[in-house]
């Protein structure tokens, strides 16, 4: 997208904002305010909060299949996609009853074309012509998030959190920005429940948001940020707990804009501190010091679908052997342990240890690219509080450390302060 059509706007409301009729009416009032302000609007909606879980539970109960089986089934998608169909119709009715021209557009009507990986489909194409003409004519187009259709005409779903991705894809098709209304009012320098002085970021780059999304800041689904970056869709994260004033005007634009790095004039070295407790540390003690031993270990894990994040290798006490430490998500730890234990003789190690009492703390910022001393600040701040780190990993715009879980909040507070992220 080279030039956004600024009079068009995609607005997305999540499950909490669609939770009951009163909340749907509030969302409708927010939509109405944008329409009155002259925008041509498409709205992407989630299912009512809790509804998707209920539908998934029903599919799980259809027989002896495991949830995993049902999840990749085309009929699973038929069932689960119904939740967004309901909220689409209800929002359209609500807007009509307020005197607006609105209609719903199912995934198969637009169509939102996806591949046929049912339960976790990827959007391949969203034609913007018909939908664009509809919104330009003054109609509010309501689009169910999370759902699409294959070229063969079967219903698909995008996987959990897919509605954010739907919204960005529709915005890309309409060549316009995307406002994501959610239950937080933006992206913060860190979790305000841990650091009350955490500051809302006015702007954050796609790259930073990607690191934050995948590191545990649960504001936006990672894929939606990837798509926004690829299609250069400006995304704003806004609170849905707002009300237009008596004249139907929304309060002054707030939230956080996720945009290209170039559009952020005042670049910070560090934009945010994130924390993830979904970590487990696995150590293979006394691994034979063959040159291909680590490759052997990680090939086995990869083939079993276990994602490995940080890796540290150190000399072991036994001569001719090393200790290999790596981290995985907590869900995968048990599987990784079983896999390694069963291959102990082939791989060749003395002992395996699994530690779930770990947390990953990261600092993220595009400014790191051009600034030295970022890591030193981090290590100094942690050392000052007596916090040891067990592993480090870095990217161009991120430094992560693995620490003992009990120190996680302390570490976040220390780093937030060390990088001067507090509200002034």
C-beta closer to its own copies: residue 92 or 287: 92
- Residues 370, 72: Cα–Cα separation, whole Å: 44
What are the tokens at 396?
Answer: 């161009």
C-beta closer to its own copies: residue 121 or 297: 121
15 annotated as ligand-binding: yes
Would the CA dihedral through 177, 180, 185, 187 be positive or negative? negative
**CA end-to-end span of the chain:** 37
C-beta closer to its own copies: residue 40 or 59: 59
Considering the complex, what minimum distance in angstroms separates the CB of residue 101 from its own copies?
12
Residues 80-109 that bind its own copies (CB under 8 A): 81-82, 85-86, 88-90, 92-94, 96-98, 102-104, 106, 108-109
One character per residue 280-319, x = contact with its own copies (rule: CB under 8 A) = ----------------------------------------
Residues 135-174 that bind its own copies (CB under 8 A): 153-155
Q: Are 48 and 88 in contact (CB under 8 A)?
A: no
Tokens 């290590």 sit on residue: 379
| Interaction between residue 74 and its own copies (CB under 8 A) | yes
Strands 140-144 and 147-149: unpaired
Q: Write down how long the chain is.
A: 424
Partnered with residue 362 across adjacent β-strands are 274, 400
| Interaction between residue 73 and its own copies (CB under 8 A) | yes
- SS3 label, residue 133: helix
188 annotated as ligand-binding: yes
Nearest to 242 by CA among 202, 183, 177: 183
| Interaction between residue 120 and its own copies (CB under 8 A) | no
One character per residue 402-421, x = contact with its own copies (rule: CB under 8 A) = --------------------
Cβ neighbours around 29 below 10 Å, total: 17
- Residues 135, 365: Cα–Cα separation, whole Å: 37
Stretch that binds its own copies, among 71-79, 195-203, 341-349, 368-376 (CB under 8 A): 71-79
Residues 216-245 that bind its own copies (CB under 8 A): none
125 annotated as ligand-binding: no
Question: 29, 36, 49, 78: which one contacts its own copies (CB under 8 A)?
Answer: 78
Cβ neighbours around 89 below 10 Å, total: 16
| Interaction between residue 53 and its own copies (CB under 8 A) | no
Residues 320-379 that bind its own copies (CB under 8 A): none
Binding residues for its own copies, how many (CB under 8 A)? 41
What lies within 8 Å, CB to CB, of 13 at 6+ separation is 27, 43, 44, 45, 46, 91, 181, 240
Q: Are 39 and 72 in contact (CB under 8 A)?
A: no
- Residues making contact with its own copies (CB under 8 A): 21, 24-25, 55, 58-59, 61-65, 70, 73-79, 81-82, 85-86, 88-90, 92-94, 96-98, 102-104, 106, 108-109, 153-155
Binding residues for ATP: 12-15, 182-183, 188, 193, 218-219
């Amino acid at each position: 997208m080279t030039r956004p059509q600024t009079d068009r706007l995609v607005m997305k409301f999540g499950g909490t904002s669609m939770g009951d009729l009163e909340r749907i009416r509030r969302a409708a009032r927010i939509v109405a305010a944008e329409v009155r302000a002259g925008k041509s609007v498409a709205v992407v909606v989630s299912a009512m909060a809790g509804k998707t879980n209920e539908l998934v539970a029903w599919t799980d109960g259809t027989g002896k299949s495991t949830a995993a089986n049902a999840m990749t089934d085309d009929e699973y998608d038929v069932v689960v996609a119904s939740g967004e169909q309901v909220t689409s119709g209800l929002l359209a009715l609500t807007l009509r009853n307020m005197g607006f021209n609105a209609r719903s557009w199912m995934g198969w009507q637009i169509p939102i074309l996806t591949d046929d990986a049912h339960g976790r489909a990827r959007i391949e194409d969203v034609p913007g012509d018909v939908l664009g003409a509809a919104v330009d004519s003054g109609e509010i187009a309501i689009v169910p998030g999370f759902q699409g259709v294959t070229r063969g005409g079967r219903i698909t779903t995008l996987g959990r959190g897919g509605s954010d991705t739907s919204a960005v894809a529709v915005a890309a098709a309409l060549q316009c920005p995307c406002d994501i209304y959610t239950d937080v009012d933006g992206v913060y320098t860190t979790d305000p429940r841990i650091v009350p002085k955490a500051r809302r970021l006015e702007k954050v780059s796609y790259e930073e948001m990607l690191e934050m999304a995948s590191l545990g800041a649960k504001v936006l689904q990672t894929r939606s940020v990837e798509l926004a970056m690829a299609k250069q869709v400006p995304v704003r994260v806004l609170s849905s707990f707002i009300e237009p004033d008596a004249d139907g005007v929304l309060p002054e634009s707030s939230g956080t804009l996720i945009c290209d790095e170039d559009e952020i004039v005042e670049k910070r070295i560090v934009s945010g501190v994130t924390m993830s407790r979904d970590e487990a540390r696995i150590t293979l003690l006394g691994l034979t010091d063959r040159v291909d031993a680590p490759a052997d270990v990680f090939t086995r894990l990869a083939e079993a679908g276990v994602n490995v994040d940080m890796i540290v290798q150190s000399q072991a006490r036994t001569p001719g052997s090393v200790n290999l430490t790596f981290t995985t998500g907590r869900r995968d730890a048990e599987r990784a342990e079983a896999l390694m234990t069963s291959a102990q003789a082939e791989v060749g190690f003395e002992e395996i240890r699994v530690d779930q009492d770990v947390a990953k703390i990261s600092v993220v910022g595009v400014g790191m690219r051009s600034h030295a001393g970022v890591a030193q600040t981090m290590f100094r701040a942690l050392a000052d509080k007596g916090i040891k780190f067990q592993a480090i990993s870095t990217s161009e715009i991120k430094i992560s450390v693995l620490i003992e879980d009990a120190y996680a909040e302390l570490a976040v507070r220390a780093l937030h302060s060390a990088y001067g992220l507090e509200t002034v």
